[in-house]
Chains A and B, each alone.
Chain A
Amino acid sequence: MNDDLYIKETKQVFDAIVVGSGISGGWAAKEFCERGLKTLMIERGPVVEHRKDYIGEGIPPWQQPQRTKVNNLLVEQQYKIQQQCYAFNDATKHFFGNDRDLPYTTAKGTTFSWIRGNQLGGKSLTWHRQSYRLSDHDFAANSLDGHGNDWPIRYKDLASWYSHVEIHAGISGSKEDLPQLPDSEYLPPLEMTLPEKAVKASIEKHFPGRTMIMGRTAHLTKPTELHLSQGRIQCQARNECHKGCSFGAYFSTQSSTLPAAAKTGNLHVAANSVVQSLIYDEKTKKVKGVRIIDNNDLSEREYFGKVVFLCASTIGSTQIMLNSKSKSFPNGIANSSGALGHYLMDHNYNATAQGDIPGFENENYRGRRPGGILIPNFQYKPSLGSKHYLRGFAFSGGAYREDWKSMQHADGIGINLKQKLGQAGKWRFNLSAQGEMLPRFENHIVLHPTLKDKWGMPQLEINCRWSENEMLMMEDAAKVGAEMLVKAGLENVTSGATHRSPGIAIHEVGSARMGHDAKTSVLNKYNQSHDVNNLFVTDGASFCSSAVQNPSLTFMALTVRAVDYAAEQLKQGRI
């Protein structure tokens, strides 16, 4: 990276300002830059340089201060919420937002686990890399059961953009021709273990209409020439991705989109720049730029651009818009509809089923697979749905051999214990549900009337709860999961529904939804705000429904499609 890449003060008026440097922001920056447009990508947190700043990578447990555990006091005082995340440990904590510096509240009687990053690359460093296309069944779901508004797009609008991002990013998976899960441009899928293949065969035999496939992951199982030319090599199956990967083997801003953007010479990056609000010009009815508060010294500055893309994460983008008040927009910029902040959703991670797999004593696997299997949603249209609740869920999971971590709980000490823990244990299989959440007006975010954060910005109050639909779905998912495992011959099968907060799936979407009707939505079908034609929001905030699929691949596709549209509009002088 050259020294000019990172800037602080500048008077330049950029063609495009991109707020956020994560999954969505990185793609927006790359696409604008590659079209010859001078682009400023803004990140509220500090720089994280590929390889150089992966300080937790490759450090074995005995070289870590507490063998991967985080100091108690540090967790309590700075990571009280982030520690709920499965990926949070001593070697990854620097890629999580500091809860002491980034407080928020939840409405009385509700909880929400807002898991987030606060550094260049955002959650593209710490995501789980599961990547799926939405289907027309997902786009039609709202209009079919009346919850939420109709998506203003359909699969055919996004298909070529999905391909575009997949070829660059590298998505591994298998062609399945499933109506509810369109295939991607693939690298070879990760391998299934033999017990997984046996469970798959059982599911397909006993439950027509259901299948089990290898999860589709943004990992280079077999890099193409394009990937190799980017300096990215084959995934080494360490499964320590959240620490950062110097092989560039999974998709992140650092490994993939940022280098491509920087290569054009059109990119500047302003890190440590918290966007406080958008600068709205009442006369031209356009956004002129952004107001910044410095992350470190709280000084103020401004950046100017011809078009502004908000890619600051679902809640982050909405927060900026709510905080951008003006005469024309007393309730937040581009909010003439009143929909801004509303229809917040997350995926529901509250049902599991698990059991022992008899046999396969002589079977093992080598390496730490960075993704598991998927049982795609088989209730993907109303005629296939449950009688008791709307929409559906998928299962992720997989088979593994027990190790010392689970085998230690049984009684026993001495040589027998050591012998047992030194070997691979029995095979187990688990399933975890990922359920769709209905869009509801009442699930929303507002600015807190009085509480402020370290940068003087109003804190958010999040008001989001599961409805009865979600709870019934999870109870059913636990039963359905157990039924499939019992049928597959598993022993000691257990299952159950839990009551974890919304937010913990880290797939929050909605709150600045797109729609045909400017009276009930914030954005049009190109992620362009109805009210302000040079303001776009292309991250999860724009979603009309949560679907069942992991959303990140769709963030990427929506973003690149919106850039293509915006760049053309700019060229034609229409924005």
Chain B
Amino acid sequence: MKNTTQVDKPAVTDKSRRCFIAGMTAIFSAATAAQLLGGNAISVAVAYTPKANSAKTTGKIFSQTQMNQLKDICAVVIPKTKTLGAAEVDTHGFLDNQLFHCHTKDQQQQAKSILVKIDQVASKKFNKPFTACDKQQQYDLLTSLEKIQNGFNSEDKQNWKLIKGLIIFGYYTSEVGASQELNYLAVPGGFTGSVPYDKDGKGTGSLAYY
């Protein structure tokens, strides 16, 4: 159920973007920061567009095999129900892009290492990589990760929380997650302090600060 109102917005000026790009020349001098941080402040700021084939291509951070693994993980964490799940809206592709632009090299390393560990445990327990396990096996494995069992340790859980947090963030800021799975009110029309909450009702998707 969408509640959107068209706001008659005049054309966006490109001035701010030109200033942004013009200012980039000063960034070349900050080599140290570039080494420590991820991101590419020079790259054109375009919204991440969900792609159908992210799992089959090499990512900015992850290898193609890892992208494929990440897709399966997304499908387990937030599966398809009445609405599409995290994998269907290319949360794995978003995650790869977001880690690249907004997270440190250390965090990128954390993300990669938990994928490696998940595969190691899958091999040990099921004699196959994570992507070759069936849905129940994948679910049980990740659940055991959260319980710190099966050879996973607490450092693994910390690394897992980074990935899981990004999957959740990526899904609930996607168009499907924010506006179909949740109620997205672009223009609520005013604040009402008391309304009944229907048990099968949805939570609100759009909040001012993410």
Contact = CB atoms under 8 A, between A and B. Distances in A.
Contacts, number: 227
Interface in B32-48: 33-34, 37-41, 45-48
Contacts of B81: 415, 418
Interface residues of B, number: 79
Contacts of A368: 185, 188, 191, 204, 206-208
B48 A403 contact: no
A78 B98 CA distance: 19
Nearest to B19: A46
Contacts of B59: none
Interface string B185-201: 11111111111110101
B78 interface: yes
A361 interface: yes
A65 B46 contact: yes
A411 B201 contact: no
Contacts of A362: 196-197
29 contacts: A52-B13, A55-B16, A58-B9, A60-B179, A60-B206, A61-B173, A62-B173, A65-B48, A66-B97, A66-B101, A69-B210, A72-B37, A72-B104, A73-B39, A100-B26, A193-B194, A194-B193, A236-B189, A362-B196, A363-B194, A363-B195, A364-B194, A365-B192, A365-B193, A369-B191, A412-B146, A413-B76, A415-B81, A421-B203
Contacts of B97: 66
Given A53-B13, A417-B78, A421-B168, A65 B193 contact: no
B56 interface: no
Given A57-B9, A190-B193, A412-B146, 9 more contacts: A52-B13, A61-B173, A66-B97, A192-B193, A368-B208, A403-B203, A409-B161, A417-B77, A417-B78
A525 interface: no
A403 B204 contact: yes
B50 to A, nearest CB: 9
B182 interface: yes
A440 B14 CA distance: 46
B133 to A, nearest CB: 15
Q: Give the size range of A's interface with the partner.
A: 35 or more
Interface string A347-381: 00000000000000111111111100000000000
B164 A191 contact: no
Interface stretch (A310-318, A422-430, A511-519): A422-430
Closest 9 CB pairs of A and B: A191-B193, A367-B188, A364-B197, A72-B39, A367-B191, A73-B41, A237-B191, A61-B173, A73-B39
Nearest to A87: B209
B188 A418 contact: no
B4 to A, nearest CB: 9
B181 interface: yes
A76 B168 contact: no
Contacts of A51: 9-10
B191 A366 contact: yes
A401 interface: yes
Contact of B173 (A68, A417, A423): A68
A46 B104 CA distance: 32
Interface of A: 46, 51-53, 55, 57-58, 60-74, 76-78, 86-87, 89, 94, 98, 100, 190-194, 196, 221, 234-240, 246, 361-370, 401, 403-405, 408-409, 411-415, 417-418, 421-425
B184 interface: yes
Contacts of B189: 236-237, 367
Nearest to A360: B197
B27 interface: yes
Given A55-B16, A69-B102, A191 B203 contact: no
Nearest to A94: B16
B169 A361 contact: no
Nearest to A408: B168
B181 A77 contact: no
A358 to B, nearest CB: 15
Contacts of B161: 409
A404 B193 CA distance: 21
B188 A421 contact: no
Contacts of A64: 47
Contact of A60 (B101, B143, B175, B190): B175
A367 B185 contact: yes
B93 interface: no
Given A76-B33, A77-B33, A67 B191 contact: no
A51 B11 CA distance: 10
Contact of A361 (B30, B168, B190, B197): B197
A190 to B, nearest CB: 6
A422 B195 contact: no
A413 B191 contact: no
Contacts of A98: 23
